[in-house]
């Protein structure tokens, strides 16, 4: 969530810079280069966010699988305790 806010901040700064300078005689090559650099940084950060979301989904699936196995073991343990009590 913080990274998305950062992306929005970069985009807002770029748009503000572009908007404020366009009324003052245009945008210099240096400013265009800065905007292009910001665009590249935004793309890199977005790719990282997507990668982390993918990793999070994978970890959540693994957690759920382990939790299901744990639940099954606990169920079997309760069943075995019940059977043992009936035998004893």
Q: Which two tokens stand for residue 56?
A: 């999070």
Distance spanning both ends of the chain, measured CA to CA: 57
Mean pLDDT of 57-80: 97
Scanning 2-28, the segments in alpha helix (DSSP H) are 2-22
| Mean predicted confidence (pLDDT) in 53-65 | 98
- Asked whether the predicted pLDDT for residue 51 surpasses 70, the reply is yes
The domain spans of the chain are 2-87
Q: Quick check: 17 pLDDT over 80?
A: no
Confidence category of residue 24, pLDDT binned at 50, 70, 90: low
What's the rounded mean pLDDT across residues 53-82? Answer: 96
Q: Which residues contact 3 (CB under 8 A, 6 or more apart)?
A: 45, 48, 49
């Amino acid at each position: 969530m913080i990274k998305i806010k950062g992306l929005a901040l970069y985009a807002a700064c770029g748009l503000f810079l572009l908007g404020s300078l366009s009324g003052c005689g245009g945008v210099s090559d240096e400013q265009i280069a800065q905007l292009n650099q910001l665009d590249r940084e935004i793309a890199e950060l977005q790719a990282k966010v997507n990668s982390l979301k993918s990793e999070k989904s994978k970890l959540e699936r693994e957690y759920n699988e382990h939790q299901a196995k744990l639940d099954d073991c606990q169920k079997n343990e309760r069943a075995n305790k019940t059977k043992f009590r009936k035998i004893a």
